Amino acid sequence: MKAIKTLVLGLCSLGLVTTTFAQTTGRIVTIDMQKIFDQYYKTPTARAKLEETRDQFTKELQVKQDDLKKQVDELNKLREDQDRPEYTAEVREQKRKAMTDKLGDMQKMQRDLEEYRRSHQKILEEQSLRMRQGILKEITDVVLKEAKDAGYLLVLDKSGNTLNGLPSVVFSQDSLEITQDIIKILNKNQPVSGEAPKP
């Protein structure tokens, strides 16, 4: 009987400790970072700016490609023209020299075009990375503040997958998710339509 009382007291003590630990450490909650990123009001604005830059680069690239095509057409015309029988040897030599010069110009334009394409693709990638990192930092700062203020024990992002291709969070109750709370905090200062967003 004494052993049973001791066991009961031990279990009660364990339950008390467990309850106290849970109250002290707070809850474990989940968020969907991708959903927050997509629904943050600054994201569409940043994407629009990126797309505007991409469109400008595409237009400039098209102009360069059109110029190169003209050079190719002129080179082909010179090639067809250089050995016409009615030309004197002197004229044919002049045509060959003109074709050689045109070929050099065309090859330089081709190199410039490829360099333009590579450099501007890199610019777009860097701009996209800066945009994403900047927005994710703002989101992370809000999540950290909310977690500290609310006393959460752990905040898990359920939007990604593990290396095995499985969800990073296999299961969680809806009551544990604070995604919408974070979105509301981030969007509380969203400017009205037509007003420029704050940096």
In a domain, 124, yes or no: yes
Burial of 195 (0-12, 13-18, 19+ CB in 10 A): exposed
Q: What percent of the chain has pLDDT over 90?
A: 51
Is there a contact between 76 and 107 (Cβ–Cβ < 8 Å)?
no
The pLDDT score that the predictor gives to residue 173 is 81
Q: Give the pTM.
A: 0.70
Residues 6 or more apart whose Cβ sits within 8 Å of residue 179: 30, 31, 32, 35, 36
In a domain, 6, yes or no: no
d(CA 98, CA 107): 14
In a domain, 3, yes or no: no
pLDDT at position 28 over 70? yes
Token representation of residue 11: 């279990």
Give 108-131 pLDDT, tens digit per residue. 999 999 999 999 999 999 999 999
Is there a contact between 132 and 43 (Cβ–Cβ < 8 Å)?
no
Token representation of residue 107: 């090859």
In a domain, 132, yes or no: yes
Lowest mean pLDDT among 100-104, 154-158, 184-188: 100-104
Q: Give me the domain span that covers residue 157.
A: 24-189
Residues 6 or more apart whose Cβ sits within 8 Å of residue 26: 150, 151, 152, 153
In a domain, 72, yes or no: yes
Domain count, the chain: 1
